[in-house]
Chain A
Amino acid sequence: MLTIDTLTNEIDGKAILKGLSLTINAGEIHAIMGPNGAGKSTLAYTLGGRPGYEVTGGTATFDGADLFDLDPHERAAAGLFLGFQYPVEIPGVSNLQFLRESLNSQKRARGQKELNGGEFIRLAKEKAALLGLDMDMLKRPVNVGFSGGEKKRAEMVQMGILDPKLAILDETDSGLDIDALKIVGAGINAIMRKPDKAVLLITHYQRLLDYVKPDYVHVLAGGRIVKSGGPDLALELEREGYSDVVGAEVVG
């Protein structure tokens, strides 16, 4: 589904990703872990197409298309979802308005029929219930006045409504208490654990992986994948630390 080959990039002229390669197939959940400053969020933003995250080399192929040929909104319409570590507040625009415009923009781009008001509300209600958010929350402006946990749950409601093929979730577990973590983990499983979908979880800690079991775990350090393995690798990292597992010189 997604093949990244020797990707390099720069932000403000500074190289962050230095030849990152990774292949994710349909039906798989991958976790990328790594120390602070390894380039984890940079990878997410670069795949999402955030302005300023300049690709300087390498390729990323998503469902047969050159990802870097597509504008950010076209990547979303192609089935990519980017979960934000810090979801953006948009005063004056309700979650419902935001999501309906987003979903219908995607449908227009794919040549599908748009949802009318009633159809959309039914869908929104169903997905919000999955994450334990009530409709009153969805009537409020996007992320405005939401707690950290509410923002992350709202992100998962967005993911449920938009129904992507591939979700790249950037530190979705940060700022969550243990109850919220369980709800968000269950939401990810319910929405994305399917044979035709895939997930790339980007996380600093192992704890989200207790709830969303990855098939593969990768360690990102110094802008490259330095070690890959199965779910046990995450436990090993948690137990022994990044330096011991992949070498202090790599982490540094």
Chain B
Amino acid sequence: MLDLPTSSDESWRYSDLSALQSVWPLPAPVRIDVAAGDSAHHHLLQDAANGAAAVHDYVVTVGDGARCDFHVLNIGGRLGRVTIDVTLGRGSHFELGGAILGSGDQTLEIVTSVTHAQPDATSGQTIRSILSQRATGSYLGKIAVARDAQRTDAFQSVKAMLLDRTATANAKPELEIYADDVKCAHGATVGELDKAALFYMASRGMDPATAKTLLLRSFVAGVFDSVADEAVRETLEAAAIAKLEAMV
């Protein structure tokens, strides 16, 4: 595929196609195959330089009874796009914790497609976005449940916080279900900082930047709680806090 995608292509609809040009065509996706019964942890800190475009594509297969945990912090570049295409085996689990922190004219995206191909698999996706100025943050998440994939249990929890009225959050969960014994839960909210909480914090002496940072930290807290490697968790949290402090 050498032609640039267009905005009529659903998965590129909210993207920054002019920024994409500089890295087009894209290299082949990174493959992650988790063998049956195994457990794997992956993370990505997408912190490309100002003005750069970064696209990270992953194709993941999770074998029978296996588990894959994936954590993404998407904060850098003019365009930062992370796509994860997952196929789940029987009784396996996929867990994604993702945070998007965008400012300026950034376009930051997490695009997932999780296919429950076999019975008894579970998946969970938790995405938190904080967007300021003219930034756009998008989560597009497709869940496909094959005809035989009974007792699938999947959830998507997507919450976005807009710090300026000029910022944009897109959340698009998409379900394609062919089995009949299936639980798929999804929720998406877009909100702003709670003004009553900000005054309460100010009345106790917190300056506005400290108060906002504390509220925003609590908003993304939890996304990286399940990172098994402590050093990785600290790296992701420190990068998130540094970005948040620069945003408020």
State the A residues within 8 Å of B (CB).
Answer: 48-51, 71-73, 75-77, 81-82, 84, 87-93, 97-99, 101-103, 105-106, 109, 158, 162
Q: What residues of B have a CB within 8 angstroms of the CB of A158 in the complex?
A: 204
Which of chain B's residues have a CB closer than 8 A to the CB of A50? Answer: 199
Contact B199 A51 (CB under 8 A): yes
B27 interfacial contact with A, CB 8 Å: no
For B196, list chain A residues within 8 Å (CB): 88
Interface SS, A side? helix
Closest 6 CB pairs between A and B? A92-B218, A76-B205, A102-B204, A106-B205, A72-B202, A88-B200
Question: Would A105 and B197 count as touching, CB distance under 8 A?
Answer: no
A89 CA to B215 CA, complexed, in Å:
12
Residue from A49, A87, A105 in contact with B205 in the complex, judged by beta carbons closer than 8 Å: A105
CB of B36 to closest CB in A, whole Å: 38
B224 CB, min distance to chain A CBs, angstroms: 14
Q: Are A73 and B202 within 8 A (Cβ)?
A: yes
Interface centre among B199, B211, B215 (most CB of A within 10 A): B199
Q: Interface range on chain B: under 10, 10 to 19, 20 to 34, or 35 or more?
A: 20 to 34
In the complex, which residues of chain B have a beta carbon less than 8 angstroms from the beta carbon of A101?
201, 206, 210-211, 214
Provide the residues of chain B in CB contact with A75, threshold 8 Å.
203
Expressed in whole angstroms, the minimum distance between the Cβ of B203 and any Cβ of chain A is: 5
**Cβ of A72 and Cβ of B199 under 8 Å apart?**
yes
Say yes or no: is B207 at the interface (Cβ < 8 Å to chain A).
yes
In the bound complex, do residue B218 and residue A93 qualify as a contact, i.e. CB atoms below 8 Å apart?
Answer: yes
Q: B30 near A: Cβ within 8 Å?
A: no
Instruction: Tell me which residues across on chain B come within 8 A of A91, comparing CB atoms.
Output: 218
Interface CB pairs A-B, < 8 A, 13: A50-B199, A76-B204, A82-B203, A87-B200, A89-B197, A90-B194, A92-B218, A98-B201, A101-B206, A102-B205, A102-B206, A105-B205, A105-B206
| In the complex, chain B residues whose CB is within 8 Å of the CB of A84 | 200, 203
Best-surrounded residue of B196, B201, B203, B210 (most CB of chain A within 10 A): B203
Within 8 A of A (CB), among B157-216: 194-197, 199-208, 210-211, 214-215
| Mask: chain B, 209-233; 1 = CB below 8 Å from A; 0 = not | 0110011001101000000000000
Among residues of B, the one whose C-beta sits closest to the C-beta of A86 is B196
Query: Contacts A71-B202, A88-B196, A92-B221 hold; do A105 and B214 have CB atoms under 8 A apart?
Result: no
Beta-carbon contact of A109 and B214 below 8 Å = no
Closest to A161 in B: B204
Most B Cβ at <10 Å: residue of A48, A51, A102, A158: A102
Q: Would A162 and B204 be within 8 Å (CB), given that A90-B215, A93-B218, A105-B210 are in contact?
A: yes
In the docked arrangement, what's the CA distance between A89 and B221, Å?
17
Nearest B residue to A76 via CB reads B205
State the Cβ distance, B60 to closest chain A Cβ, in Å: 30
Alpha-carbon gap, A84 to B218, bound state (A): 23
A109 with B215: CB separation less than 8 A: no
B99 to chain A: closest CB distance in Å?
14
Tell me which residues across on chain A come within 8 A of B215, comparing CB atoms.
90, 92-93
User: How far, in angstroms, from A158 to B206 measured CA to CA in the complex?
Assistant: 13
Does B200 lie within 8 Å of A105, measured CB to CB? no
Distance A81 CA – B204 CA, assembled complex (angstroms): 7
- Which A residue sits closest to B220, measured CB to CB? A92
Known: A92-B218, A93-B215. A102 touches B195 (CB 8 A): no
Tell me, in angstroms, the Cα distance from A154 to B38 when the chains sit together: 48
A102 to B219, CA, bound (A): 19
B146 CB to nearest chain A CB (Å): 37
Query: Out of A87, A88, A93, A109, which one reaches B207, CB within 8 Å?
Result: A109
In the bound complex, residues from chain B placing their C-beta under 8 Å from that of A109 are 205, 207
A84 → B minimal CB distance (Å): 7
Are A103 and B205 in contact, with the CB atoms below 8 A? yes
| Interface contact B204-A99, CB-CB below 8 Å | yes
Set of chain B residues within 8 Å of A89, measured between Cβ atoms = 197
Among residues of B, the one whose C-beta sits closest to the C-beta of A99 is B204
Give the nearest-CB partner of B206 in chain A: A105
Contacts of A77 in B (CB 8 A): 205
